A and B are shown apart, each in its own frame.
Chain A
């Protein structure tokens, strides 16, 4: 879960968590590509209209076990969630929602193959629990981790068509573009996600969304990939102001500062990174003895 903080995942996991999202309009399914789609792409295309049609459907209240499972996951108590999902699936082997939750737990634990199977099963089954659109989001996120960029984009775009402006999905699309080396597209997606999070934050009385730190970091990485070091520096500072516990962002910030030639700030960023990542190995860090001297690192 390096790229995506747990908060970013959990915030979309639970039903009802996105009530302040933009008004839902089930958009038309994406146009089929000109060539024959792969079986998985076809699965997305076939499932999308069914899930779109289910947007207004009323769903029964979750079982007691499912409610407890949702609570455990929202609290980040993954061990308890794993136990509860096992119990729920034992009691209700055909429970689509429990199966989906199991997929999310697989995903969060890094077992992407198992997660993928669960999400594909739900797409084949069709909408069967409240806010079924979430399956597309997690399927796309899972495919991204499995390196299937094209299919991940289809799933994430499908989710956006069901939940227009969803900032979590926009964030993942930003990550996808970033990982494909498409910095301009990544910037666009991250900026869209940022605007949407800010809009929601305003609607919620100014409380910043915990995912904002990751979006700023994504923006910083996109600026870095684009060669705009000042913008990368600013975005990473904003990210770290919101959440200073992100070791990966301190590391990225160190790289930016080094290239900007700000040796003292770079040493400080490295110190933070090392403090947060203690135990990685590689020997004692001695910033004052850094052999990489500044004159050649200012690549602007």
Chain B
């Protein structure tokens, strides 16, 4: 490992891994399941088999968090429970990254004592103390795990003013009023009382678990961070409740139109998705339908489980890919500018492959370091195994991985990408990040009633740059959530966003990861901080794990 010198005014420290030029092999994508040897042994529970209620089928996510600030990704594993004991599940857990893809369970010493039925986990430093905290959505009261900075967490949700709904799902941190601290959007799903299960429903003539259609929907919640460790519910006054309630599953707070006012995209199950345009002053108006992002190309509401954000067409604006139900297709909405989106799923070759799958976590990442973002989504059914088997639907389903090639995405198979791609599971959430410090993006995958698994990226070519933002100003969130990073290497330009709420019920490393052609030595960077402050850097050496401190 060597260290490169950079101008100190913007750069705190860097790690550089591997000498330039040692990455001349051709790019390819290959992963290996290293769960067994990693020590990350966690089994996630979500009801029993066969499930009798939708509560059991949605299951839980995963979160990558550097809770001890040692520069690597630790893993928080939310866990569910059972209908018989919805508040007494096996509990969430925390795994410390020991390096070299080895983990150890530190739940007890970290004070992780959360046994209620948990779903999603979103990471952010809500109290601006420099240590990332975790917001966990639950059945009933949601939880906010405050990082004390001493290797431990304390649950402060109620004290911080966060009130649970009946059933919360996805969530996203973002600074909606540009005051330097993280506000919070919480999706709520539907009213479902474990003690009074609704009657069965029907899907293509088959008797299946009820919901969400036919079940009462719930208003989402928008919380404004008051800067004193508490939040205030501004759902009503912000305008988000001007919309009828829906079945929210996921949300991303991000500046979609480049006006430096973070907007909110909300994935609703089976109905129009919301796009809340930020009017300033923590006020929003819903423009989803008119923006073209509410529906599929056919004008249909979709299930919208997973959300990925990336610049697919290279115009510098965040495009949105969503994952959906089986026999429907996943959907790619290109951002044309000024909050106008165009469904281009078919044109990019992403239409047909998704039809058999019920899809969840997803992400755009340059897995093979060839300067473009590839795409992955994870799958698994929600209906009982016997129902799936009788109908040839597939309860356990394999992930689907695409390599970006020119204007198309090309699906890869296990013969080139590794046996894990044939491994049929009931997957749900995925955290993406460089777990082993080798510069590429690895994955931690959650699932329903199965073990969490660790997938190591075996990249063998290309250069790379990981950009971590650091805002040292007091009273400001430190990691630049919501920022946009532009990298220029010669005439080639790439864009990334540090977005909260993407994937599915999950948090990934809050960094911008860039893959670069083998032999690349220098690049230029432009960081657009969430409040619009622009910071540029020339002649940044690669490969490197770079911390950019706000100037």
With A179-B346, A293-B338 as contacts: A277 and B299 at CB distance below 8 Å:
yes
Q: List 8 A-B contacts (CB under 8 A).
A: A248-B299, A248-B300, A255-B342, A255-B343, A283-B242, A292-B290, A293-B338, A297-B340
A234 vs B300: C-alpha distance when bound (angstroms): 23
Q: Contact at B271–A111, with CB atoms within 8 Å? A: no
Q: Contact at B301–A280, with CB atoms within 8 Å? A: yes
Distance (whole angstroms) from the CB of A299 to the closest CB of chain B: 7
A285 vs B287: C-alpha distance when bound (angstroms): 9
Q: Contact at A225–B347, with CB atoms within 8 Å? A: yes
Q: Contact at B342–A283, with CB atoms within 8 Å? A: no
Q: Contact at A285–B340, with CB atoms within 8 Å? A: no
Contact of A280 among B243, B271, B340, B355 (CB under 8 A): B271
A193 vs B246: C-alpha distance when bound (angstroms): 41
Distance (whole angstroms) from the CB of A216 to the closest CB of chain B: 16
- Whether B348 is near chain A, meaning CB under 8 Å from some CB there, is yes
- Whether A9 is near chain B, meaning CB under 8 Å from some CB there, is no
Q: Contact at A299–B286, with CB atoms within 8 Å? A: no
State which residues 259-300 of A face B: CB under 8 Å.
Answer: 259, 270, 273-274, 277, 280-283, 285, 287, 290-293, 296-297, 299
Contact of B346 among A109, A112, A225, A287 (CB under 8 A): A225
> Closest residue of chain B to A186, judged by CB?
B346
The 8 A CB mask of A114-148 against B (1 = contact, 0 = none) is 10110000000000000000000000000011111
- Whether B298 is near chain A, meaning CB under 8 Å from some CB there, is yes
A147 vs B408: C-alpha distance when bound (angstroms): 17
Number of A-B contacts (CB under 8 A): 131
- Whether A178 is near chain B, meaning CB under 8 Å from some CB there, is yes
Complex contacts, A113 vs chain B, CB 8 Å: 391-393
A283 vs B408: C-alpha distance when bound (angstroms): 34
- Whether A149 is near chain B, meaning CB under 8 Å from some CB there, is yes
Q: Contact at A111–B268, with CB atoms within 8 Å? A: no
Residue tally, chain A, CB below 8 Å to B = 48
A287 vs B294: C-alpha distance when bound (angstroms): 15
Complex contacts, B39 vs chain A, CB 8 Å: none
- Whether A250 is near chain B, meaning CB under 8 Å from some CB there, is yes
State which residues 316-339 of B face A: CB under 8 Å.
Answer: 327, 329, 336-339
Q: Contact at B299–A250, with CB atoms within 8 Å? A: yes
> Closest residue of chain A to B339, judged by CB?
A292
- List the 10 closest pairs (A to B, CB-CB), nearest first: A282-B272, A251-B299, A147-B355, A113-B392, A281-B271, A283-B243, A110-B204, A147-B352, A179-B351, A111-B204
A252 vs B343: C-alpha distance when bound (angstroms): 10
Complex contacts, A285 vs chain B, CB 8 Å: 289-290
> Closest residue of chain A to B408, judged by CB?
A181
Distance (whole angstroms) from the CB of A126 to the closest CB of chain B: 23
Complex contacts, B271 vs chain A, CB 8 Å: 280-282
Complex contacts, A255 vs chain B, CB 8 Å: 292, 342-343
Complex contacts, B285 vs chain A, CB 8 Å: 291
> Closest residue of chain B to A251, judged by CB?
B299
State which residues 179-229 of A face B: CB under 8 Å.
Answer: 179-181, 183, 221, 225
Q: Contact at A299–B289, with CB atoms within 8 Å? A: no
A172 vs B467: C-alpha distance when bound (angstroms): 47
A-B contacts besides A248-B300, A297-B340, 18 pairs, CB < 8 Å: A3-B298, A145-B355, A146-B327, A147-B356, A148-B352, A180-B351, A180-B352, A181-B351, A251-B295, A252-B297, A277-B299, A282-B246, A282-B268, A283-B244, A283-B286, A287-B290, A290-B290, A292-B290
